[in-house]
Structure 1
Amino acid sequence: MIIAIPNKGRLSEPSLELLREAGIRVESSERKLIVPTNNQRINILFARARDIPHYVANGSADVGITGYDMVVESGEDVKVLLKLGFGKAKLVIAVPMNSDVKAVEDLDGKRIATEFKNIAKRYFKEKGLNVKIVEVSGACENAPYIGIADAILDLTSTGTTLRVNNLRVVEEVLETEAVLIANRNVVNEFEVKALVTSIQGVLNAKGMMYLMMNIPADILDEVKRIVPGLKGPTVMKVENGNMLAVHVVVHEDRLFEILEKLKKIGARDILIIPIQRLIY
């Protein structure tokens, strides 16, 4: 199986890290086009994020990680298997602060600078607006100020770049994040399903902790109220005395308040372990 991932940019390192957490590690430190992994049946193809939907669609790669915006822009018929939770951003239409444009309808007859020409064409066609698409590569925040466009269609994650360049958002066109995609002909193959299961397990485990404790049997109901768990706690009888062992999965954000409450009602021998993968 060949997995295509971005060779650079904001999605590259998080993609490699996610694969490492899922048990797939790149064996070579050299960024060649195709490199082996610790699994002899899996290779990594390093490519531009923009090209990955094409490689997956034509079978050069079986699966790939890229931005959802790149999938939509490409128009390729690939299967989105998972949203991966990183690389989140919005594709927005923005204009200079002093622009007369107040709504997207005001852009009729105007020029739009963007590297997402296909998304732009489809969007404005659906809106029934006649605009001129000015294709640029890379950041296009300066386009309105050098006289080649009246507005831009570009990605923003925090809005800082837009504010620095004195731009304001007129309309949000698309929400994007990193996604796992596959060629539709291999979706049901074992390796692809195994990859999805492993990555989904990593995503499910983010921020989750395995909490173990011993408690007097008579406080079990109170413990259940404090830490109900995903599907209720696992409860086992301890050999010596009237004690129970309780195991439960909780989110790390709740530990601060949970631990003191458990300690106060009599829980002891509390052990907390990070969870690497969680398969429902």
Structure 2
Amino acid sequence: MPTKNIKNKLHLGIPARALRFQVLELLEKVGFAVNVSSSGHKITVDDPEIECFFSKTQELAEWVQNGMLDVAIIQKARLLEQNIKAKEISDFKFGNGIWDYTKVVVAVPQDSKFKSIKDLQNEEVFSRLPNLTKKFFKQQGIAVNVVRTTYPGEAKAEMFKKPLVDFTNTGRTLREHNLRIIGEIMQTSPRLIMNNEAFENSWKRQKAENLALLLKAARSAMDMVGLMLHVKGDIIAELLRILPAMKKPTVTQLRGENIFDVLTVLDKKQVRDLSPRLKKIGCTDIVEFPLEKVVF
């Protein structure tokens, strides 16, 4: 366990399971050299001002709240579950397993009689987030008996034929355990949270905010690509009508020619359908390239 935080060193908590690989990938995209021990329990980065710790999400949240850690990356749903008092520095908007939001859902056995959450009146409900679950059903006016469970909740719900409240991205794991979703409690994403006392330390706050900016920039870059191309002057107006951009494309005329070099940044999902259109209207030398960081 980390000791009380010290001056001019930022103690960073990283989830040991669900979000581990996404966070490590982001740290590497930021430019840190990340080293994980052979046991998988210790992590270091090549910044002497940052000390990292792996642990369960529940522990990390408590350590930030009581000052054992300065900052940690924690799912919003977990913060609500534990009623954690800390500053939220950034929302990274990704989930477990894929780069998207995670949902907290209510699922039931595939062959059960339950059609909606109203059908769960007076039923036992397994949950990895019991406090959040109790609050949700109380708000809905539905009396349930919430039973705390641990990971993997899907297997237990399948075995005992019980409704379940748990995290999901695509719903695949739920389907593999013959469970179907009948309700959604919330969308959740990881937040960089900071101890309230550490937040008042200007050095630690600036270090944490800089780290958040870089991590978020690396995260944003994963959804975007750069696009360069050449276009003749007589069709540039047509090009600019269909070409997406963060604000406006950069357009530079090649010296002595009626040809323009165009540079833009756009969502990578748009390129698949866009490139054939660009070729069709007469664009040439179309080059797509990945981005490392995008700072908005």
The number of residues matched between the two structures is 278
Structure 2 counterpart SS, 1:50: helix
Distance between the aligned counterparts of 1:152 and 1:272, measured in 2?
44
CA contact under 8 A between 2:92 and 2:216: conserved in structure 1? no
Q: Which residue of 1 aligns with 2:237?
A: 221
> Could you tell me which amino acid in structure 1 is paired with residue 264 of structure 2?
V
Q: Which residue of 1 aligns with 2:289?
A: 273
Distance between the aligned counterparts of 1:118 and 1:101, measured in 2?
22
> Could you tell me which amino acid in structure 2 is paired with residue 153 of structure 1?
V
* 1:65 paired to 2:81: no
Q: Which residue of 2 aligns with 1:52?
A: 60
Name stretches of at least 5 consecutive residues in structure 1 with no aligned partner.
Answer: none
> Could you tell me which amino acid in structure 1 is paired with residue 123 of structure 2?
K
Distance 1:71-1:231 versus aligned 2 partners, 3 A rule: same
Matches within 5 A, 1:1-280: 1-7=10-16, 9-30=17-38, 35-80=43-88, 81-87=90-96, 88-141=101-154, 143=156, 150-187=162-199, 189-280=205-296
Distance between the aligned counterparts of 2:218 and 2:132, measured in 1?
32
CA contact under 8 A between 2:231 and 2:282: conserved in structure 1? yes
Distance 1:113-1:241 versus aligned 2 partners, 3 A rule: closer
Distance 1:265-1:190 versus aligned 2 partners, 3 A rule: same
Q: Deviations over 1:221-277 (max 9, x none)?
A: 122123142211112232233333222223333334433443444433443321111
Distance between the aligned counterparts of 2:286 and 2:167, measured in 1?
46
CA contact under 8 A between 1:66 and 1:178: conserved in structure 2? yes
Aligned CA RMSD, in angstroms, stands at: 2.9
Distance 1:212-1:6 versus aligned 2 partners, 3 A rule: same
Structure 2 counterpart SS, 1:133: strand
Identical-pair percentage: 28
**Larger fraction in helix:** 2
Q: Using structure 1 for the length normalisation, give the TM-score.
A: 0.83
CA contact under 8 A between 1:82 and 1:181: conserved in structure 2? no
CA contact under 8 A between 1:34 and 1:43: conserved in structure 2? no
Shift of 1:99: 4.2
Q: Deviations over 1:38-59 (max 9, x none)?
A: 1221121111122221122222
Name stretches of at least 5 consecutive residues in structure 2 with no aligned partner.
Answer: 1-9
Q: Using structure 2 for the length normalisation, give the TM-score.
A: 0.79
Distance between the aligned counterparts of 2:164 and 2:280, measured in 1?
58
Larger radius of gyration: 1
CA contact under 8 A between 1:84 and 1:180: conserved in structure 2? no
